[in-house]
């Protein structure tokens, strides 16, 4: 299937590793030009070299902390300067810290809001004027299955992903007539460094082995295994494509069947 991504420019944030990187690779494999972003310069430039060599793709990398509105503004203006415009925005970043209600200070809530909610707002603000002008665009947010079913001890993520979902659904309605689609992809347990870190935290707290944490997750997943980042990336690439022109306002899980709800 030709996804029609050959002339498109995609800005994928949080893309030096994990899910963001897998999305960037999938889009590059489909011929899109890419703007990558993460905080750490070393890992980011390694990812840039890997992707541009493997896929002969045009790639630019911009180090930026997404929780800083000025950095987001600079990121978008660099993307526009280097690539001319942004056709596809994939919002993604590190997850907010784990914890329950009594573990989190007001400062941690504020930082979580900046990183998980306001970064999306600022990124959209940056790319939307061009999308409106060209009457075409794709906005895809990486959220979490926590939107369907809150995950224990992740109260920040549970709360803020729901806010991103509300923002996306409302925006989708406002821009639908301009051929701009807005969707969310909800990862379940997917094999990345963040998940390893989360498993270590849980293992320490519950005084069990890391292996036990992973086995517990696998037992809950009908497919009996964790997801691979490329399995999520395949859906993002489809939603970013011409082929997904009538899909907007949705949230789709890539979770091996983890969430049992009917809809
Ligand atoms: P990860 O930690 O492996 O990768 C995160 C990426 O974002 C890295 O490239 C990192 O450099 C970048 N990043 C982190 N903070 C940033 C910041 N402030 N500014 C710019 N870049 C920043 O995480 P992942 O597992 O790939 O997950 C990506 C997102 O998906 C996270 O928000 C996570 O909570 C969510 N998620 C992941 C899973 C999973 O199982 N992996 C499940 C549900 C939701």
The residues with which 46 forms a beta bridge, in sequence order, are none
Question: Per-residue pLDDT tens for 111-162?
Answer: 999 999 999 999 999 999 999 999 999 999 999 999 999 999 999 999 999 9
pLDDT at 180: 98
Give the distance (Å) from ligand 1 centre to CA of residue 221: 21
Higher pLDDT, 97 or 170: 170
- Tokens 């806010």 found at: 163
Give the distance (Å) from ligand 1 centre to CA of residue 12: 12
pLDDT at 109: 98
SS3 249: coil
SS3 251: strand
Give the distance (Å) from ligand 1 centre to CA of residue 93: 4
Give the distance (Å) from ligand 1 centre to CA of residue 95: 5
Question: Per-residue pLDDT tens for 6-53?
Answer: 999 999 999 999 999 999 999 999 999 999 999 999 999 999 999 999
Q: What is the pTM of this model?
A: 0.98
Pocket test of ligand 1: the residue of 97, 114, 194 to mutate, having most ligand atoms within 8 Å of its CB, is 194
pLDDT at 244: 98
CA distances for 236 relative to 49, 118, 130, 182, 244, angstroms: 22, 21, 21, 11, 10
CB 34 within 8 A of CB 51: yes
Give the distance (Å) from ligand 1 centre to CA of residue 257: 21
C-alpha to C-alpha distance for 242 and 172, rounded to whole angstroms: 16
Residue nearest (by alpha carbon) to ligand 1 atom 41: 190
Give the distance (Å) from ligand 1 centre to CA of residue 54: 23
pLDDT at 137: 98
Pocket test of ligand 1: the residue of 40, 156, 192 to mutate, having most ligand atoms within 8 Å of its CB, is 192
pLDDT at 139: 99
- Here the tokens at position 255 are 């979770």
As a whole number, mean pLDDT of residues 93-103 equals 94
As a whole number, mean pLDDT of residues 63-78 equals 98
Residue nearest (by alpha carbon) to ligand 1 atom 2: 194
As a whole number, mean pLDDT of residues 233-243 equals 98
Q: Where are the alpha helices (DSSP H) in the chain?
A: 18-29, 41-55, 69-83, 106-112, 119-134, 155-175, 193-206, 210-220, 229-240
Under the banding of pLDDT at 50, 70 and 90, the label for residue 217 is very high
pLDDT at 75: 98
Which residues lie with the beta carbon below 6 Å from any ligand 1 atom?
A: 14-20, 38-40, 64-67, 92-95, 115, 142, 144, 157, 187, 189-190, 192-195
pLDDT at 181: 98
In sequence order, which residues have a C-beta less than 8 Å from that of residue 145 and are 6 or more positions away? 151, 186, 187, 188, 253, 255, 258, 259
C-alpha to C-alpha distance for 31 and 59, rounded to whole angstroms: 11
pLDDT at 127: 98
Q: Percentage of residues in the chain with pLDDT exceeding 70?
A: 100
Average pLDDT of the chain?
Answer: 97
């Amino acid at each position: 299937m030709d996804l029609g991504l050959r002339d498109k420019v995609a800005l994928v944030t949080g893309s030096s590793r994990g899910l963001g990187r897998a999305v960037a690779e999938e889009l590059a494999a489909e011929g899109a030009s890419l703007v990558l972003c993460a905080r750490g310069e070393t890992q980011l430039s390694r990812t840039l070299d890997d992707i541009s060599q493997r896929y002969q793709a045009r790639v630019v990398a911009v180090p930026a902390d997404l929780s800083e509105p000025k950095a987001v503004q600079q990121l978008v203006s660099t993307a526009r300067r280097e690539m001319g415009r942004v056709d596809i925005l994939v919002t993604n970043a590190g997850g907010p810290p784990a914890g329950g209600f009594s573990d989190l200070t007001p400062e941690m809530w504020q930082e979580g809001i900046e990183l998980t909610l306001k970064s999306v707002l600022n990124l959209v603000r940056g790319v939307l004027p061009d999308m409106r002008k060209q009457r075409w665009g794709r906005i895809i947010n990486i959220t979490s299955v926590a939107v369907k079913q809150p995950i224990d001890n992740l109260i920040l993520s549970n709360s803020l992903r729901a806010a991103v979902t509300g923002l996306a659904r409302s925006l989708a309605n406002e821009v639908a007539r301009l051929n701009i689609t807005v969707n969310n992809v909800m990862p379940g347990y997917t094999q990345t460094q963040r998940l390893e870190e989360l498993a270590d935290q849980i293992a320490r707290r519950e005084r069990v082995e890391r292996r036990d944490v992973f086995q517990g997750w696998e037992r809950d997943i009908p497919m009996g295994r964790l997801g691979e980042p490329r399995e999520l990336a395949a859906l993002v690439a489809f939603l970013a494509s011409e082929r997904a022109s009538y899909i907007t306002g949705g949230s789709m899980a890539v979770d091996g069947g983890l969430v049992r709800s009917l809809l």
